[in-house]
Amino acid sequence: MKRTVCLFYRVPQLRFALLLSLWILLSGLLFGWGKKETPKTLDGEEVFTRDRERMVVTQIEARGVRDPIVLSALRKVPRHRFVPKSLEERAYDDTPLPIGYGQTISQPYIVAYMTEALQLKGTEKVLEIGTGSGYQAAILAEITPHVYTIEIIPELADRARKTLNEAGYRFVKTRQGDGYFGWEEESPFDAIIVTAAAGHVPPPLLSQLKAGGKLIIPLGGPYEVQMLTLVEKMQDGTFRTNQLLPVRFVPFVRKAESSQ
């Protein structure tokens, strides 16, 4: 034993090797191995991705939405970019959220439910009335490249256009105006989705719907429970109506009121 120790001291290469291994061992303990035990913290985007996945599983799939095209769209669209910065952390909660001007971004489940009811395959021309934040338009844009959306409040229309552009949905066609009249030049549409509650289905929307097309709209008075209604245009031009689900939407208005 004594002889071995002496050997280390006398042979400089061995001494060097010994010190080097001690140094490696110590720095490993201090910097490397210690760190492995503390969990890796997620950055902002990773937290949103995790929350979005949780939203799809617990709020959407759990309530029976099954269409893989719809589920995949909800997994992709960064909902936190469509809500005001101050509400970003609540973007994946099971609730509508205020977006300013007295309007709201719909609850994720309702967005999924309405989108699924349209039974889109991926090439349809779709019109949305009530752009709001632009989130529903982005969901549609994940499904088909032919999305048209109209918003009556100028400030919201501008902001949604900007949000959609920045989030990579530049191809969505936006317009500011009264959606009651639809988008005549671009009609007919395979599907129309109205995201504000109206007392009746605007007749221009019915005539801009293709035969075989579907329109979904919350019907009922403002500030009361409305009935989500699916209208299908038959090949002979008649309509078949189905009441789907009680909902609560902001009112469909005919003239933008500036409340903020």
Which positions are annotated as active-site residues? 106
Alpha helices by DSSP H, 78-232: 108-117, 135-143, 154-166, 203-207
**Which residues are at the interface with ligand SAH (CB under 6 A)?**
103-106, 129-130, 132-133, 135-136, 150-153, 156, 178-180, 195-196, 250, 252-254
Nearer to ligand SAH, 15 or 254 (CB): 254
Q: Which two tokens stand for residue 36?
A: 């492995």
Cα separations (Å) of 81 from 49, 76, 164, 173?
A: 12, 12, 9, 19
Pairing of strands 189-194, 209-219: parallel
CB-based contact 228:246 (threshold 8 Å)? yes
* Minimum distance of ligand SAH from residue 234's CB (angstroms): 26
Burial class of residue 121 (count of CB atoms within 10 Å of its CB; 0-12, 13-18, 19+): exposed
Shortest approach of ligand SAH to residue 250 CB, angstroms? Answer: 5
User: How near is the Cβ of 251 to ligand SAH at its closest, in Å?
Assistant: 7
The CB-of-131 to ligand SAH minimum distance in angstroms stands at 6
Closest CB to ligand SAH among residues 79, 233: 79
Cβ closest to ligand SAH, residue 194 vs residue 231: 194
Neighbours of 235 (CB within 10 A): 7
By beta-carbon proximity to ligand SAH, the closer residue of 12 and 104 is 104
Residue whose structure tokens are 């003239």: 255
Helix and strand element counts for the chain (H, E): 9, 9
